[in-house]
């Protein structure tokens, strides 16, 4: 039973979210853009869309060092998803905002999550609350093990 569960979790984990996102996009040119983006980069784009933060503001929301986040942001800038700017009254801190391309990526990312949630809700609709509660407990324990490996 455990081997079957672990095999299913591995199958789920290995599924490419980027492939799913690309399938959902109606604009084929934008689909090519997503080949450049990792899931972490999409998540950072979502964080930037919400708050126009400083790079340091992203740190509590990602499991990365400041140096790794800076490199990721620089890649997003280089690929025209994000731009850096300074506020008039504060030239010291560098803030981030999405470009038009970054906004398109964020919109597609949101659409992906809406579609994923629909599919997941459909997948579990025939299970009882008790079964879902048990599955949730199992997944929480598995995630605790994974977190100790990070």
Position 14 confidence tier, pLDDT thresholds 50, 70, 90: low
State if pTM tops 0.75. Answer: no
What b/e sequence results for 75-90 when a residue is b if at least 16 CB atoms lie within 10 Å of its CB, and e otherwise? bbeebebbeeeeeeee
Residue with the bigger pLDDT between 59 and 149: it is: 59
Q: What is the pLDDT of residues 94-147, one digit of tens each?
A: 999 999 999 988 988 888 788 878 888 898 899 998 998 898 898 888 878 877
Map residue 81 onto helix, strand or coil. Answer: coil
CA angle 96, 59, 70 (to 5 degrees): 55
**What pLDDT does 29 receive?**
58
23-72 residue pLDDT tens: 655 556 556 666 678 878 988 999 999 889 999 999 998 888 999 999 99
> Residue 130: what pLDDT?
93
Q: Using 50, 70 and 90 to split pLDDT, how confident is the model at 74?
A: very high
Q: With contact defined as beta carbons under 8 Å apart, do 84 and 96 qualify?
A: yes
- Residue 105 and residue 29: Cα distance in Å, rounded? 12
């Amino acid at each position: 039973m455990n081997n079957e569960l672990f095999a299913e979790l591995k199958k789920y984990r290995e599924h490419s979210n980027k492939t799913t996102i690309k399938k959902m996009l109606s604009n084929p040119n934008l689909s090519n853009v997503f080949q450049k983006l990792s899931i972490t980069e999409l998540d950072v784009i979502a964080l930037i869309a919400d708050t126009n933060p400083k790079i340091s503001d992203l740190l509590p929301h990602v499991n990365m060092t400041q140096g790794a986040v800076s490199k990721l942001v620089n890649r997003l800038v280089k690929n025209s998803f994000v731009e850096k700017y300074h506020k008039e009254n504060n030239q010291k801190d560098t803030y981030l905002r999405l470009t038009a391309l970054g906004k398109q990526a964020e919109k597609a990312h949101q659409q992906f999550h809406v579609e994923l949630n629909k599919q997941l809700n459909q997948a579990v609709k025939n299970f009882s609350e008790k079964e879902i509660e048990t599955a949730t407990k199992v997944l929480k324990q598995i995630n605790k093990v994974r977190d100790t490996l990070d």
